[in-house]
Amino acid sequence: MLIVKKFGGTSVADKERIFNVAKRCAEDFKKGNDVIVVLSAMGKSTDELIAKAHEINPDPPKRELDMLLTTGEQVSVALMAMAFDVMDVPSVSLNAFQVSMHTTRVHGNARLKRIDTDRIMHELEHRRIVIVTGFQGVNKYDNYTTLGRGGSDTTAVALAAVLHADACEIYTDVDGIYTADPRYVPKARKLEEITYDEMLDLATLGAGVLHNRSVEMAKKYGVQLVVRSSLNDHEGTIVKEETNVERMLISGVALDKNTARISVIGLEDQPGIAFKLFHLLARDNINVDVILQSIGRDNTKDISFTVSRDDADLAIKILESHMSRIGGKHISCNKEVAKVSIVGAGMMSNPGVAAKMFEALYNQNININMISTSEIRVTVLIHERDAERAVNAVHDAFELEE
Ligand code: ADP
Ligand code: ASP
Ligand code: MG
């Protein structure tokens, strides 16, 4: 069997954890399996590197930031190889350059395009565990890129896909995927299984347990995932196309605090305004999420939308510098907001799901700022201070606990 095993930051945070991972991987290897280990940077080191960059330069060039961030994963893989050496298990660490993980150009949020498999295959044939840096790639100018926060999951799934691995295991600091983030919702329940589509929505809406692109890629290439803890042997959660368990009305609640609401007031009520506005943001790779258009005074309209909080300042700068083109009167930004979403394929055939969510929020006297829906999700924007109360209330309303 060829097994891809990915370990997140907390799972390799210190010496004990590194040896714990090495031991788990060595067990599989000694059974005769080929083993590829994908690692994230140790503990919070990516955050620390970002903070260091900002100490030097509040707006660091994106190429150089990626150059810095990729060192985090390189530390982990080298130390892991040293641990295997102590255990007399043959291994080799490889970074994105050595493997050749080709990505798109964009720094900070690159997409994997192609992975060369020769070097990895060569090492596996020589019976070595191959330890690969997660989160990083190389673009066509031979510059390091990164895949976006949490991107090591995507590295693991991509490797599993190109190498036709028999298993792709994502090890983290929780026992699996829960009905809500167990950090905020003590009553959250672990799911046995979840579909790609549901997980993709949950991940995109803030459930950081998996990088959303990793789920997208797993679905595209049919890579079945197991998400489980690196600290115990509990069975995790399987992510796959169809689940056997009886369909619940909703499968989970997601909370995203990394969001900001931008409102452009007094736009002309004419065709093409929304296009111009969102085109400007798309040009700079700014993702826009919930959008609300409303009628203003004197033949004008207002457009409000959410972006990730990290993109908010840039979005405002861009819009302000083009105000004459889009014709708005005023821009405002609110960073004290949070998005709460419910996701579940079961809601497609059940009217009243949204109403039930709104009722739960009303009972807590929580005001809703914006609403957006799709076939399998409902998202509301609320004040950040209400966020945890809201997820717990919604979780209770749908009786998702054990
Ligand atoms: P890693 O470093 O292993 O990649 P992450 O911090 O990226 O770990 O992801 C694991 C965290 O995701 C958990 O500690 C948990 O707080 C959070 N999380 C958010 N939503 C969920 C969910 N629905 N189920 C499980 N964990 C979740
Ligand atoms: N180290 C990176 C991050 O913190 C990638 C990852 O953990 O998946 O975002
Ligand atoms: Mg992660």
Per-residue confidence (pLDDT) for residue 297, from 0 to 100: 79
Residues 2-173: name the CATH superfamily: Acetylglutamate kinase-like (3.40.1160.10)
Count, residues in the chain: 402
Question: Distance between CA 360 and CA 394 in Å, rounded?
Answer: 6
Per-residue confidence (pLDDT) for residue 399, from 0 to 100: 85
Query: Which ligand approaches the C-alpha of residue 151 most closely?
Result: 2
Per-residue confidence (pLDDT) for residue 144, from 0 to 100: 98
Per-residue confidence (pLDDT) for residue 359, from 0 to 100: 96
Mean pLDDT of each 10-residue bin along the chain, 402 residues long: 98 98 98 98 98 96 97 98 98 98 96 98 98 98 97 98 98 97 96 93 95 97 98 96 77 96 93 93 91 87 94 94 87 97 86 92 97 92 98 94 74
Question: Distance between CA 120 and CA 128 in Å, rounded?
Answer: 9
Q: In angstroms, what is the span from residue 263 Cα to ligand 3's centroid? A: 31
What is the value of pTM for the model shown?
0.93
Closest C-alpha to 309, from 336, 274, 329, 276:
336
Residue nearest to atom 10 of ligand 1 (CA): 209
Question: Distance between CA 394 and CA 357 in Å, rounded?
Answer: 6
Query: Following DSSP, what letter does each residue of 239-297 receive, concatenated?
Result: EESS--SPPPS--EEEEE-S-EEEEEEEEE-STTHHHHHHHHHHHTT-----EEEEE-S
| Beta carbon of 252 within 6 Å of any ligand 1 atom | yes
Per-residue confidence (pLDDT) for residue 245, from 0 to 100: 66
Ligand 2 interacting residues, C-beta cut-off 6 A: 8-9, 40-41, 46, 72, 134-135, 149-152
Q: Which residues surround ligand 3, an ion (CB under 5 A)?
A: 8, 150
Q: Which residues contact 56 (CB under 8 A, 6 or more apart)?
A: none
- Ligand 2 probe mutation, 37, 40, 74, 308, most atoms within 8 A of CB: 40
Closest C-alpha to 393, from 187, 228, 196:
187
Q: In angstroms, what is the span from residue 206 Cα to ligand 1's centroid? A: 10
Query: Which ligand approaches the C-alpha of residue 21 most closely?
Result: 1
Atom of ligand 1 nearest to the CA of 176: 25
Helix (H) or strand (E) holding 113: strand 112-115
Instruction: Look at residue 333 and give its three-state secondary structure.
Output: strand
The amino acid at 24: R
Write down the domain spans for the chain.
Answer: 2-173
Per-residue confidence (pLDDT) for residue 246, from 0 to 100: 65
Query: Which ligand approaches the C-alpha of residue 148 most closely?
Result: 2
In a 10 Å sphere around its CB, with 0-12 CB exposed, 13-18 middle and 19+ buried, how is residue 266 labelled? middle
Do the bridges between strand 337-343 and strand 252-256 make them parallel or antiparallel, or are there none, so unpaired? antiparallel
